[in-house]
Amino acid sequence: MMVKGVPGSSTSGAAITSFDKTAYQSYGWEGNANAPIGFESAIRFHKTLEMLMSRDANHKNIGKQAFVFWGDVEGEGIAPQLWDDPSAAQGIFVVPGNPSKLPSDRALSRHFYLAALKGNRGRVALSSWDQRTSEQIKSSVQRFVQCQELIPQTKARPIWVLRNSAFLDPAKDYTDKITTALVKAALLGTPLPDEYAIRVMNRICQEQDVMRSPDRAQALAFYLTTNDTMPTLPELNKHPTPEQVAYILGRIAFLMHRAQVTAQNSKKEETNITRSLKALSTTPAQVFPRLYYGCIAHHLEDKDGGGLLFRIKQALDAEFAKFGQSFDPSIDLPDTFDVKAQSCFFFGWGIRRAEFFTKSEE
């Protein structure tokens, strides 16, 4: 029996299990005698998978993988809008009438399942299998949307956009591992691996990306949320954590960048800051003081009145105040940032940029 529609398999379909080669003979058994399940079970799971692959609410092909998902309740699936317009999706949906008739304790204990499939010319392979309760899936989808909307005037991006944020050429790169991690993070709430954040930040540094588009800041917001590391502003009179320092430093770095762009009346956003993004986000103590005092001396010196540079200077003072009055950038910065703190740096940049270009009345 052939399953159709799995990426990588032939148009005529591919089998989940087969014993059509002599190499599959074992202990004298040949052909279907090797099967670990009975004929009726084989037909049942084949027809079930065939049904799931035919419904938009129960499967999604992304890259070279097919993801299938279903619940204990008949017809339970995921709103297809989640994959293209997450902000419009309502998470899990079910056939009307079914769940409302169930007691609340049974509703909370219902399970929802996610499987990832890969195909080649002859076979379909089950590459992963997970299950959660329906309530956990709903919570994860809600978090997936909400964490991206922390950036002003933005909507949540679909998974394929967040995947592309980590690759220079998604069409040529091997993206399956990252895609699977993103799907599981969105639906199951599993933490995104550090590899994902590293890839996104490497692209930012390599391209001197100033995040005109918020996609990469949103990608890092998702990474930080799944790892429970979303930065907050430090409380007064308390020593900030490395993640908080990195977040505020990212906001300051953006303002320094805009100060140079404004002072030089440049049409290109290529500055000393963008050229130093890698060092700034990994070894701040070595490079930040030099860049900061250079910005003060060359781009903000004697900038009085109510112009944009004066407002940037005020904004910088406000950011430094979040550290506390005794903070000295030449001695109080950590030597290095780990991956999560680096992510906070770029997330802070993205948030501050969005605020900078948001009208004050909004």
Domain count along the chain: 3
- Residue 147 in domain: no
Question: Region 72-86: what's the mean pLDDT?
Answer: 87
Whether residue 79 sits in one domain with residue 32:
yes
Whether residue 246 sits in one domain with residue 339:
yes
- Residue 154 in domain: no
- Residue 362 in domain: no
Whether residue 134 sits in one domain with residue 173:
no
Question: Region 336-353: what's the mean pLDDT?
Answer: 96
Lowest-confidence range among 7-21, 147-161, 292-306, 337-351? 292-306
User: Residue 105: is its pLDDT beyond 60?
Assistant: no
- Cα separations in angstroms, 362 against 239, 351, 354: 32, 15, 12
- Cα separations in angstroms, 245 against 148, 150, 232: 21, 19, 10
First to last CA, the chain: 58
Q: What is the pLDDT of residue 236?
A: 64
| pLDDT single digits (tens) 128-183 | 999 998 888 889 999 999 999 999 889 999 999 999 999 989 888 999 999 999 99
Whether residue 113 sits in one domain with residue 171:
no
The region, left, alpha or beta by phi > 0 then psi within -120 to 50, assigned to residue 68 is beta
User: Residue 99: is its pLDDT beyond 50?
Assistant: no
Q: What is the pLDDT of residue 101?
A: 43
Stretch (H or E) spanning 249: helix 242-263
Whether residue 259 sits in one domain with residue 303:
yes
Whether residue 288 sits in one domain with residue 215:
no
| pLDDT single digits (tens) 279-307 | 999 999 999 999 999 998 888 876 554 58
Question: Region 271-280: what's the mean pLDDT?
Answer: 95
Query: 198 φ, ψ to 5°?
Result: -60, -40
Angle at CA of residue 189, ends 55 and 183, nearest 5°: 40
Whether residue 219 sits in one domain with residue 270:
no
Q: What is the pLDDT of residue 235?
A: 74
Q: What is the pLDDT of residue 98?
A: 47
Domain that holds residue 191: 159-224
Helix (H, G, I), strand (E, B) or coil at 77: strand
- Residue 41 in domain: yes
| pLDDT single digits (tens) 221-255 | 999 999 999 998 887 667 888 999 999 999 999 99
Q: What is the pLDDT of residue 188?
A: 94
- Cα separations in angstroms, 136 against 64, 219, 230, 232: 27, 21, 20, 25
Q: What is the pLDDT of residue 108?
A: 55
* Burial call 246-258: b when 16+ CB within 10 Å, e when fewer: bbbbbbbbbbbbb
- Residue 342 in domain: yes
Most confident of 72-76, 144-148, 310-314, 331-335: 144-148
- Residue 59 in domain: yes
- Residue 179 in domain: yes
- Residue 271 in domain: yes
Q: What is the pLDDT of residue 304?
A: 54
HSE of 358, CA atoms in CB hemisphere, 13 A: 13
User: Residue 33: is its pLDDT beyond 50?
Assistant: yes
Whether residue 249 sits in one domain with residue 207:
no
